[in-house]
């Protein structure tokens, strides 16, 4: 009975304490709100109504009335940058940095935002200088990532490698895939300068960073082929099947030319037929079709196209099948087949072939680095099915 009596006293006391605390918080909130200029609330209202121009004007008025509003400076600078008004964003953040009483954390934040302004404006040298000043603190890793972006834009692959390694030591996670790509870029530059020794050195470093780098393997074969070592080139390109069979279309034509140069065209045709059977692909079929037709005749090419269509029916494969049937048909059947093939080819020729798996950017050429999002190895080395691509 005594316990029940005390519970009856505790409940109303707890309720009263909660009511008093709520009243105190409400008074505090109202007091703080009363100190904010009316322009601040007008700016928020404009933002909520998706009226950025009016919001910016309102926030500028707030900053003029109360220069101590640091967070509002950041919000205003970001609004300017997103609208492409980078000169105004730069002035806002430089104005913050000119304050002698700015705390260290806020100074780093302002430097980081200023670097983003310079980067957005295309002032890469000034952006680099700004980001390099952020060597420690909460914004150091973000600054290093921005520096990596700058060096990739400038194609300064040596600095890109150093920056990627620095990011790894800061705890960003593995960047071995990117480092391997940077070494491959250096190898390609060496190849253009006909420096095979340097190209091999860079490709060795690429494979050391990422043993599964298909691009490095392909380039190793290119170096061998350029030096006349066709056997060694074939051995390199055949390794792609072990690394990732999806990339076989990128080496199919290279392999066929190497086999032909060695007088082993039949061996190359057999290899293509095996690959098409094992890894059905229109890209492989396109490469192999002309070679098989020239080497073994239209009937063999027809059989190859028909087998591919039975496994993976699509418009691209249908074009090859119609071409094969057309070569052996008689009039008027040949004219009908030619008309059908022409219509399908016109339907598919302008469609994008490759799609970035990161941002969805589509292109007719294969890229190791996406032109849209700058991601590495984000393109699947397989052409988009035309019907799907048109939807």
Question: Which residues are annotated binding-site positions for Fe cation?
Answer: 356, 359, 370, 373
**Cβ atoms of 201 and 194 closer than 8 Å:** no
Angle (CA) 141 162 113, round 5°: 30
**C-alpha 145: how far from its chain's center?**
14
Omega into 194 within 30° of 0, i.e. cis? no
Residue 155 tokens, joined:
């194609």
**Residues placed in the known binding site:** 356, 359, 370, 373
Whether residue 386 contacts residue 354, with contact meaning beta carbons closer than 8 Å, is answered with no
In which residue are the tokens 């707030």 written? 62
Residues in the chain: 391
CA-to-CA distance for 359 and 373, rounded, in angstroms? 6
Of 230, 221, 226, which Cα lies nearest the Cα of 262? 230
Place of tokens 């073994």: 296
Residues 6+ apart with CB under 8 A from 359: 370, 372, 373, 375, 378
314 backbone φψ class: left, alpha, beta (φ>0; ψ -120 to 50): beta
């Amino acid at each position: 009975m005594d316990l029940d009596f005390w519970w009856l006293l505790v409940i109303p006391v707890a309720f009263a304490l909660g009511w008093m605390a709520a009243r105190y918080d409400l008074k505090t909130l109202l007091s703080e709100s009363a100190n904010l200029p009316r322009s601040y609330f007008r700016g928020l209202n404009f933002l909520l109504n998706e009226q950025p121009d009016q919001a910016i004007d309102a926030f500028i008025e707030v900053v003029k009335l109360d220069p101590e509003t640091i967070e509002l400076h950041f919000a205003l600078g970001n609004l300017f940058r997103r609208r492409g008004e980078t000169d105004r964003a730069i002035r806002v953040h430089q104005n913050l940095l000119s304050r002698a009483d700015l705390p260290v954390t806020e100074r780093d934040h302002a430097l980081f935002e200023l670097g983003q302004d310079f980067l957005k404006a295309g002032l890469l040298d000034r952006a680099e200088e700004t980001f390099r000043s952020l060597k420690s603190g909460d914004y150091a890793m973000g600054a290093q990532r921005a520096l990596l972006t700058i060096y990739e834009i400038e194609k300064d692959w040596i600095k890109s490698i150093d920056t990627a390694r620095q990011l790894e030591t800061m705890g960003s996670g593995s960047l071995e895939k990117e480092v391997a790509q940077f070494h491959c870029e250096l190898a390609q530059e060496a190849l253009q300068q006909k420096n095979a020794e340097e190209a091999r050195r860079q490709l060795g470093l690429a494979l050391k960073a990422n043993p599964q780098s298909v691009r490095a393997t392909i380039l190793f074969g290119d170096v061998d082929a350029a030096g006349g070592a066709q056997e060694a080139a074939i051995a390199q390109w055949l390794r792609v099947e072990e690394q990732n069979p999806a990339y076989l279309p990128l080496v199919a034509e290279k392999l066929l030319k190497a086999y032909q140069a060695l007088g082993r065209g039949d061996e190359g045709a057999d290899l293509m037929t095996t690959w098409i059977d094992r890894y059905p692909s229109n890209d492989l079929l396109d490469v192999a079709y002309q070679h098989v037709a020239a080497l073994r005749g239209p009937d063999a090419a027809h059989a190859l196209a028909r087998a591919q269509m039975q496994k993976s029916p699509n418009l691209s494969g249908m074009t090859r099948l119609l071409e094969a049937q057309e070569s052996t048909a008689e009039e008027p059947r040949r004219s009908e087949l030619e008309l059908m093939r022409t219509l399908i080819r016109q339907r598919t020729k302008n469609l994008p072939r490759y799609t970035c798996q990161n941002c969805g950017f589509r292109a007719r050429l294969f890229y190791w680095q996406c032109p849209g999002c700058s991601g590495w190895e984000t393109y699947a080395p397989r052409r988009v099915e035309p019907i799907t691509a048109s939807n």
